[in-house]
Structure 1
């Protein structure tokens, strides 16, 4: 699995959500900040303006334009500059005939273990439509406009594909960089080591073996990796192993011993010590806390 796909698979939590919103001018809606969420809006019909987070100048949006918010920051959409937006109200289900129609989507991610690949993204990203984005948006819109047999499975799958396209489109449009994750993913040495760690997090990697996989001697490799990624090779490996372990404890019924083995620990005790150091609690207690929180959410949803 490539690094981007692996990062998103591990960091996502819950099910992605999507809906269609319809508006008639004049209008303006303010979307509150949602920590631990990535969101997007696609203009399907009409034109409107984005009021970016931080009070930047309004940005005109045309049909096909995408606004991607990697960190869930507050923002607003208005039909024209100067309109004061109101808090986001109940959505219009499958709008027909409205002057402006937008496709919205949101992804839950773990706000505590955000990968630097996501953490380093801008507060908001404006993307022009590409063939990939148009295709994914068209398929997703069709499922939302006319739900059919299997729509419940199709929508999350299409949302995941669209998220990958959004990130791929943004990374492809970045100029050459000398540091950071754009540079790390484009650098053949660093990307080879990252790929090895993500493909086999349970391997007993050393700096020497990672350097050999990357085709460079030990010391130059360590310096190059640290400069681009922001962590030493084994520091990143441990951080990633603990992130993968948290995902396994959250989404599977694998025993703690099994999880320890899958992320490279022969001793359950050594794994528990490392996990506690990174997450502040023991693996078993971490899982029990998640189960209790999940049960509480189910009760709240049932009472609504």
Structure 2
């Protein structure tokens, strides 16, 4: 007689493992909420090179037609870009997009979406070709689409820390049909268009990173890899699902079916920090996101993420972020 129970058990465990990885990625990517994100279409003719030094936390770029190269000041190895490929570049350090690695940048993108020559001449008016489009002629052979997050508060620190300075996905490796939708919306000037573009920027980033995290060479961060551990994965899922619970190492260990010492050791080895330290940072990351929601109050957010009141949350927030919740919100509202 065929023994089906072990096979079903294995399938159930694999499903649980995959669900855990999905939850981990979802929790981190759910922090991506663009507000006033910028999209541009550049129409170019070789030789061309643009140095982006606007200090934004994260950018995406893709060739609509023609080819080019991208490289980052923290990872100067050039990456080739073909039509449909997408590159994600982590800020705030500068990066360069060019027709050839040997081409010197002739344009600089400065903070405030200002485009200048290397000697400071403003080129925005001269290069304007239409809605969110710049260049010298619409007939030029290269079209480059770029988008970026303007505020660090639009992205979780855990997400930014998980990314290399530059990553590239080839057209065949992700749902590149999405880029056609983005390209069509970028040149529209309609009511509510900024909101549409913000959501498209979020969708584009999530689509790309989901495909990238699935690659074995992606070097996924410790918190992501740890989801596969039968003990630590359980603890991580509980912390993410119930951040407001009064967790202790002992209660987590009981849920995971191991001793307190065993959980503490394995969690620290795999995640890189003890369970309660991880929980403290996760609560503050979540609080930072929730506080930006319309109508949110400090007290209500505090209770959702496991603090007795707004005073306790404010003290923890300042200890881990270096600023109070009020100062954090004021800074990220102003950009």
Same fold per TM (> 0.5)?
yes
1:38 aligns with 2:80: no
Separation in 2 of the partners of 1:189 and 1:97? 59
2:37 is matched with 16
Classify 1:119/1:281 alpha carbon distance in 2 versus 1 (closer, same or farther; 3 Å). Answer: closer
1:133 is matched with 175
Contact 1:11 1:110 in 2 (8 A): no
5 Å matches for 1:86-165?
86-88=106-108, 89=115, 90=124, 92=129, 93-94=132-133, 96-110=138-152, 115-130=157-172, 132-147=174-189, 151-165=193-207
Separation in 2 of the partners of 1:293 and 1:57? 32
Shift in Å, 1:206: 2.0
Count of matched residue pairs: 292
2:69 is matched with 49
Contact 2:156 2:285 in 1 (8 A): no
5 Å matches for 1:178-217?
180-217=222-259
Contact 1:11 1:115 in 2 (8 A): no
Greater CA deviation, 230-239 or 112-121? Answer: 112-121
Greater CA deviation, 181-190 or 137-146? Answer: 181-190
Shift in Å, 1:31: 1.2
1:83 aligns with 2:103: yes
Classify 1:115/1:134 alpha carbon distance in 2 versus 1 (closer, same or farther; 3 Å). Answer: same
Contact 2:222 2:272 in 1 (8 A): yes
Equivalent in 280, 283, 300 of residue 258 of structure 1: 300
1:241 aligns with 2:241: no
1:290 is matched with 329
- TM-score, with length taken from structure 1: 0.81
Classify 1:267/1:181 alpha carbon distance in 2 versus 1 (closer, same or farther; 3 Å). Answer: closer
3-state SS, counterpart of residue 85 of structure 1: coil
Separation in 1 of the partners of 2:181 and 2:234? 34
3-state SS, counterpart of residue 213 of structure 2: helix
2:81 is matched with 61
3-state SS, counterpart of residue 243 of structure 2: coil
Separation in 1 of the partners of 2:319 and 2:155? 14
- Superimposed CA distance per residue, residues 183-237 of structure 1 (whole angstroms, 9 cap, x where no aligned partner): 2244454333223222221111222333344454433222222112211111111
3-state SS, counterpart of residue 91 of structure 2: coil
3-state SS, counterpart of residue 58 of structure 1: strand
1:173 is matched with 215
Classify 1:151/1:226 alpha carbon distance in 2 versus 1 (closer, same or farther; 3 Å). Answer: same
3-state SS, counterpart of residue 37 of structure 2: strand
Shift in Å, 1:164: 0.9
Separation in 1 of the partners of 2:218 and 2:230? 14
Runs (5+) with no aligned partner, structure 2 = 1-21, 109-114, 116-123
